[in-house]
Chains A and B, each alone.
Chain A
Amino acid sequence: MSALLAVEGVVAGYSPSDEILKGVDLAVDSGEIVSVIGPNGAGKSTLLKVVAGLLRPHRGRVRLGEAALEGKPAREVSALGVAFVPQEHNVFPSLTVRENLEMGGYVDPRAARRRIDEIFVRFPALADKRRHAARTLSGGQRQMLAMAMALMVAPVLLLLDEPSAGLAPRAAEQLFDTVVAVNGDGVAIVMVEQNALEALAIARRGYILVDGRNSKSGPAAELARDPDVRRIFLGG
């Protein structure tokens, strides 16, 4: 079976001479959760931005099924079913929760109207706050809204950039439960996380990036047991 997402030899940075990613590979099959972990500055977020179309790679290929993604603007990547949830600034603060969801489904307003009701069933906390401005939400609710906005387009691939960053343990736990539930609907997920143990616990496979390069990859459970991984990323 060919991968849903295939990233091959991607070199990328924020200026022509800048190489944050120095030849990264990543493959994601339909319906699986893949966690990408690594120290700060390893290029994890940059990798997601390349896939989402926010950053054009200097070299390398990014394919979604048969479609080449590299060089496509974010708008076109999104239309192909790739939904990106940035780590910060991932909601529109002055818009209400409902308006945020409408913008999440901007590309298909008719489907969006139907989908908002489904989203409110899945995220009852958001339903209660539907008329509140997103800036009034708690950190956990905001991350939920960001994910719910991404789900408005019924994506085939969800890219989550450190979804648990800054959340209290309980809110982070709820969020990981939601990630698993969303994946249960058949959405493939690439999740970049600092919270390595939890990220590997819900993933099928994992990748470890160090200094812009692939360091290790394999089944998540094996990576979580790997002594090198535990020492470097998990503190023991």
Chain B
Amino acid sequence: MPREIAQLLLNGLMAGTILAVPAIGFTAIYAVLRFPNFAIAAHLTIGAFAGWLANVSLGLPAALAVGVAFVVAGLAGVLNDELILKPLRPAGALTTAIAAVALTLVLENVVRFVFGNDLRGYDLPIRRDWQAAGLRIAPQQVHNFVIAVVAMAAVFLFLAFTRTGKAMRAVADNPMLASVKGIDADRVARLTNFVAMGLAGVGGVLVGLDTSIDPLTGFRVILSVFAAAVVGGLGSIPGAVVGALTIGVGEELSLLVLAPAYRTVVGFAAILVVLTLRPRGILGERAY
């Protein structure tokens, strides 16, 4: 039993790290634009397919496919926001969030129209799992873990040390003051969308490298992404990481008592518990 729990913890840590990448994107958009952009689901799918094309059709290695997914999903995110969500923002966060759900349905169906419903896998070498102290881990899991950690580190460095990254944090803190200081909020919003949706795209590739992809890939993980962001504290980027690890580990540990098909209940339960007991999340500054 302790070994089984340790294995689930290890798997949960790996899954949580992958989940953290799109969760950072979700929470970053919330921090800057103040609405939950559920369209991150569709951009995760778009990134997964862009990465798949790069990997399988163009023969690029997985690491380069991640880069392609980031750029394609990021650009799609900017375009979709400019054309569809931005004009709706003056109508309020709820209207924009509903439009984002509708946008996700439309985009997923566009992906379905182009690629069909089949499950697709990335072109990966088949390798034996590594074993140590009775625990098993697939080399691909480690690979994905490294990609996720590098992506997160890049985001943290960007936000902490670049002028533009600091401007993004400033707009997230106080948009009115940011405009008084000469920060172009529109430019910051576009950049946030690019980075956030790009991260969703990277998340899509990581899901694809871990399992397989289809047009509903994003839809299946959005609940966990949302739960991670809420648990960590909506708008807090370190919170999204903590939340994602919590959800990842929680979902794996739930397998001790639940059939795998029911593990999404962990996300629902986590959202309920957090909103009831600590609405601002683990690391959030504000209650919403």
Residues of A within 8 A of B163 (CB): 102, 106, 109
Assuming A75-B184, A94-B285, is B176 touching A106 (CB within 8 A)?
no
Once the chains are docked, how many angstroms separate the CA of A90 from the CA of B173? 10
Contact B176 A89 (CB under 8 A): yes
Contact B176 A86 (CB under 8 A): yes
A93 at interface (Cβ–Cβ under 8 A)?
yes
A121 at interface (Cβ–Cβ under 8 A)?
no
Residues of A within 8 A of B169 (CB): 92, 94-95, 99
Residues of A within 8 A of B177 (CB): 86, 89-92
Once the chains are docked, how many angstroms separate the CA of A113 from the CA of B182? 16
Q: Which of B176, B183, B184, B285 contacts A103 (CB 8 A)?
A: B183
A13 at interface (Cβ–Cβ under 8 A)?
no
A52 at interface (Cβ–Cβ under 8 A)?
yes
Assuming A92-B169, A106-B163, is B176 touching A79 (CB within 8 A)?
no
22 contacts between A and B (CB under 8 A): A52-B180, A54-B176, A74-B180, A75-B182, A75-B183, A75-B184, A78-B182, A79-B182, A84-B180, A89-B177, A91-B174, A92-B170, A92-B178, A93-B174, A94-B172, A103-B166, A103-B167, A103-B170, A103-B178, A103-B181, A104-B181, A109-B163
Cβ distance A211 to chain B, nearest Cβ, rounded Å = 26
CB-nearest residue of chain A to B235: A94
Residues of A within 8 A of B166 (CB): 95, 99, 102-103
Cβ distance A157 to chain B, nearest Cβ, rounded Å = 13
Chain A window 81-111, contacts with chain B (Cβ cutoff 8 Å), 1 for yes, 0 for no: 0001010011111110001001110110100
**B contact residues vs A (CB 8 Å cutoff):** 163, 166-167, 169-170, 172-174, 176-184, 285
Cβ distance B120 to chain A, nearest Cβ, rounded Å = 41
Residues of B within 8 A of A107 (CB): 181-182
Once the chains are docked, how many angstroms separate the CA of A106 from the CA of B180? 10
Once the chains are docked, how many angstroms separate the CA of A109 from the CA of B179? 16
CB-nearest residue of chain B to A84: B180
Cβ distance B30 to chain A, nearest Cβ, rounded Å = 14
Residues of A within 8 A of B178 (CB): 92, 103
B interface SS class: helix
Contact B179 A106 (CB under 8 A): no
Cβ distance A69 to chain B, nearest Cβ, rounded Å = 14
Residues of A within 8 A of B180 (CB): 52, 54, 74-75, 78, 84, 86
Residues of B within 8 A of A54 (CB): 176, 179-180
A188 at interface (Cβ–Cβ under 8 A)?
no
Cβ distance B27 to chain A, nearest Cβ, rounded Å = 13
A73 at interface (Cβ–Cβ under 8 A)?
yes
A28 at interface (Cβ–Cβ under 8 A)?
no
Assuming A78-B181, A84-B180, A93-B285, is B167 touching A106 (CB within 8 A)?
yes
Cβ distance A96 to chain B, nearest Cβ, rounded Å = 10
Residues of A within 8 A of B173 (CB): 92-95
Q: Which of B167, B172, B181, B285 contacts A149 (CB 8 A)?
A: B181
Q: Which 6 A-B pairs have the closest CB atoms?
A: A107-B182, A92-B173, A74-B179, A103-B170, A78-B182, A92-B170
Residues of B within 8 A of A99 (CB): 166, 169-170
Within A35-70, which residues are at the interface with B (CB < 8 Å)? 52, 54
Residues of B within 8 A of A78 (CB): 180-182
Cβ distance B163 to chain A, nearest Cβ, rounded Å = 6
Cβ distance A188 to chain B, nearest Cβ, rounded Å = 18
Q: Which of A73, A92, A109 contacts B174 (CB 8 A)?
A: A92
CB-nearest residue of chain A to B31: A94
Cβ distance B124 to chain A, nearest Cβ, rounded Å = 40
Cβ distance A47 to chain B, nearest Cβ, rounded Å = 16
Once the chains are docked, how many angstroms separate the CA of A83 from the CA of B170? 17
Residues of B within 8 A of A135 (CB): 285
Contact A106 B285 (CB under 8 A): no
Once the chains are docked, how many angstroms separate the CA of A114 from the CA of B180? 21
Cβ distance A89 to chain B, nearest Cβ, rounded Å = 6
Residues of B within 8 A of A103 (CB): 166-167, 170, 178, 181, 183
